[in-house]
Structure 1
């Protein structure tokens, strides 16, 4: 094995069943504590593993591993930074046949690793350290997770071609839904223009598809050392997502996946986590998926992924299938208090730093003012806005694609008009013409699907700014002023009067509620603006109107 990072990731889990944390599954709070305590000044993304030997699990003491060194931090003492290349010997010391400590001998000193035997298999530790010090010639630190968009363009090309092969193998065509998903993925991967052209040509030339096994060879050849498993899991996720979008959600019926399992080389447990992640992503677009539900769902996903050893970072290596980049997904998870879970910098790009600050302020007063319902969806709203942005960027790119194909189409038509006698040339040009027309039709169809997605997502985002159930008394109080009376009927027109039964002990009451009408989703932006104008969720306006309403009731 040529890469020490790969070796350590594979072997270090043997040190402990519960106290070893392998990147990217190192809890952010524990990782931050360890970086300070161990006095590690490198890139946090280069840390391979952390063995936590603290009683309360803070991560302040133990062993930290990178591609260059192991750091031993004993309790209440300074850390020892030990480079692998300096190690000359490693010895386990036994007391009554029980491994009690490990001594690491370097060119300059001896370091005794004590009081860690209850947390660590010392025999395995000796084996690992001896191997890395004797069998490797190069010791380099490297990022443990690299987003797909930052990888080699040749890798991205093979990755997308495999997906295109799958779409053709399913039913011999790429329909507009499949094409829309592929265009979204292309945008998230940040392809160069020439790569986009090559993918576009490949997409509309079914007679020229390459063998899937050859494409896997090309993919594997260009994977960064140590990233093979994560890339393969990511590819499986994108394949399954497109299959789910257009075919059955039964993986047993997904023939392309079953036929190429040996090439993907991933476990059943990885597939189970992929399906759970996709279901979680899809729920983000559901109406009643509140911030609390979203947080609970991602925590459950994270826990299940960690339990079976599937790196969650691999699932989101190409971003979220609903339309967020890897960086955007990282920032979104950071909003939920799960920063660092993907092993990427949560401050990198994506949704941005601003949203990480104090979402949901005025928590103590929001129940009084009625803003609680809307604030329950604040993080979801920000994530949906990121989806809208990514989809709009994709549509913008598709417009360029349409212009490109139109130009090629005009060129072909021009050539046909110049040929009259050469039947073979005319036949070839006619085939090109039909292909380019199909390409134009396909791209336009994908754009139509993405436009619908933008409008639907905008509608959902705007709906989150409107109360599901209207407080009629509050509306009347806020629109009592002459300049705001016009908003009363406008807002009320978006709500339907419904009767519900409230059972309290043996007493049943019929309560009338004004519930939002979902069929007017396209107009929710105007409704949200109206609520903002009258100050429906503004603390000072609400308190003032409620007070005024109460006083008017007293003196009426």
Structure 2
């Protein structure tokens, strides 16, 4: 299944991107950054041509303690402003994949919806982590901080703390911010898929110009935030397939817009296979979301019995219920 989506992404990408255009953009960015043009061109050319595909960042393949810490870091950043709102929860749900976790670790991650950990504790798991993973985590943390279009001063401080703890340089940190800003701008302006593809390529080239691996685009919630077809065209424009894109939210989106957009390229047997796979994964995320809802309901009931209440918990429950309704509707479209 992974190979299928990877080859499909490359095929689409070859029809939407010319190496010459990528070369010119890379030259400009490399010049601005004061880096060697050949170094930047090498990375962009490899990605665009597919000769040496970027190794995707796959959070689900990390050691279990890092998977738990990664999830905890996202919840910690979201909760830094004192609340977990709908936009933050939705992004975290899109970014996380709990499949393969042990029951104990799964419960820990689910419990973060009630009591997120501190960011410092979670970052400790990445002190000796691969550089690409550190870039990916920082990218996701910035995205979560901006999920509700407001950056709380405490979140800003925590991002600087994360930058230092993860060993990310100032130039690279600024490039990550620029990438997120450009991708959010595309989504807010409602650009068509061709424009989204070209802008994704340009934004990713800006990462490469300062040494940030393009592979971190695979975990970008900003890419998830594009239209379903925009995800396909945007990743394909970089020569990146869809097979290893993490986040169950992406899988659900693939079952609606993207699937409808590319099914003409598939024979009937493959259409049924893909739809079945996506239907199964959609059910997985709904199970995960409903487990979170049960935890919140249990906590609310316990507080009620003791004569107490929590406005924050009720708001969190309302947001989660809305997310479940949206995911349920998307899942039903796969039938």
| TM-score past 0.5 threshold | yes
User: What are the superposed Cα offsets for residues 165-205 of structure 1, whole Å, 9 maximum, x if unpaired?
Assistant: 333433x3333433333233224x65735434212324423
Counterpart CA distance in 2 for 1:408 and 1:248 is 28
TM-score by length of 1: 0.40
How has the CA–CA distance of structure 1 residues 391 and 271 changed in structure 2, closer, same or farther, with 3 Å as cutoff?
Answer: farther
- Quote the offset at 1:230 in angstroms: 1.6
SS of 2:239 mapped into structure 1: coil
Query: Could you tell me which residue of structure 1 aligns to residue 158 of structure 2?
Result: 256
Query: Could you tell me which residue of structure 2 aligns to residue 240 of structure 1?
Result: 142
Greater alpha carbon shift after TM alignment, 271-280 vs 303-312: 271-280
SS of 1:177 mapped into structure 2: helix
Query: Could you tell me which residue of structure 1 aligns to residue 76 of structure 2?
Result: 165
CA contact (8 A) 2:57 2:216 kept: no
CA contact (8 A) 1:280 1:297 kept: yes
Q: 2:316 aligns with which of 435, 439, 442?
A: 442
Query: Could you tell me which residue of structure 1 aligns to residue 107 of structure 2?
Result: 197
SS of 2:221 mapped into structure 1: coil
Does 2:230 correspond to 1:339? no
Does 2:83 correspond to 1:27? no
Does 2:124 correspond to 1:213? no
Counterpart CA distance in 2 for 1:150 and 1:22 is 29
How many aligned residue pairs are there? 272
Counterpart CA distance in 2 for 1:347 and 1:182 is 20
Counterpart CA distance in 1 for 2:328 and 2:182 is 20
CA contact (8 A) 1:391 1:450 kept: no
Tell which structure's C-alpha radius of gyration is larger: 1
Query: Could you tell me which residue of structure 1 aligns to residue 84 of structure 2?
Result: 174
How has the CA–CA distance of structure 1 residues 302 and 390 changed in structure 2, closer, same or farther, with 3 Å as cutoff?
Answer: farther
Greater helix proportion: 2
Q: 2:197 aligns with which of 284, 292, 295?
A: 295
Does 2:179 correspond to 1:277? yes
User: Which gives a bigger RCO, structure 1 or 2 (Cα 8 Å, sep 6+)?
Assistant: 2
Counterpart CA distance in 1 for 2:281 and 2:184 is 16
- Quote the offset at 1:339 in angstroms: 1.4
- Quote the offset at 1:281 in angstroms: 3.1
Counterpart CA distance in 1 for 2:159 and 2:109 is 21
CA contact (8 A) 1:230 1:314 kept: yes
Greater strand proportion: 1
Counterpart CA distance in 1 for 2:132 and 2:88 is 23
Query: Could you tell me which residue of structure 2 aligns to residue 398 of structure 1?
Result: 289
Equivalent runs, 1:378-457 vs 2, <5 Å: 394=285, 397-406=288-297, 430=306, 439=313, 441-448=315-322, 451=325
Equivalent runs, 1:473-552 vs 2, <5 Å: none
How has the CA–CA distance of structure 1 residues 453 and 290 changed in structure 2, closer, same or farther, with 3 Å as cutoff?
Answer: farther
SS of 1:275 mapped into structure 2: helix
SS of 1:182 mapped into structure 2: helix
Q: 2:214 aligns with which of 312, 315, 318?
A: 312
SS of 2:83 mapped into structure 1: coil
User: What are the superposed Cα offsets for residues 355-388 of structure 1, whole Å, 9 maximum, x if unpaired?
Assistant: 56888xxxxxxxxxxxxxxxxxxxxxxxxxxxxx
TM-score by length of 2: 0.61
Counterpart CA distance in 2 for 1:286 and 1:391 is 26
Counterpart CA distance in 2 for 1:454 and 1:322 is 22
Query: Could you tell me which residue of structure 2 aligns to residue 107 of structure 1?
Result: none
